[in-house]
Amino acid sequence: MPKQQLAHGAEALLFRSEGKIIKERISKGYRIPELDEKLRKDRTKAEARILQNLSRNNVNVPRVLKASETVLELEDIGTNSIRDYLDKSSDASVFGKIAEQVELMHRAKITHGDLTTSNMILSGDKLYLIDFGLSEHTDRVEDKAVDLHLLKECLKSKHFPIWESCWHTFEKSYGLKEVLERLKIVERRGRYKEKGPV
By annotation, the residues acting in catalysis are 114
Q: Are residues 134 and 92 in the same domain?
A: yes
CATH number for position 30: 3.30.200.20
Q: Are residues 37 and 116 in the same domain?
A: no
pLDDT at 197 over 60: no
| Number of compact structural domains in the chain | 2
Amino acid identity at 71: V
For CA atoms 84, 86, 91, 97, give the dihedral sign.
Answer: positive
Of 75, 109, 128, the last residue of a domain is: 75
**What pTM did the predictor assign?**
0.91
- What tens digit of pLDDT does each residue of 156-168 get? 999 999 999 999 9
For residue 149, what pLDDT band results from cuts at 50, 70 and 90? very high
pLDDT at 191 over 80: no
For residue 194, what pLDDT band results from cuts at 50, 70 and 90? very low
- What tens digit of pLDDT does each residue of 3-20 get? 787 877 778 899 999 889
Q: Alpha-carbon distance 148 to 108, whole Å?
A: 16
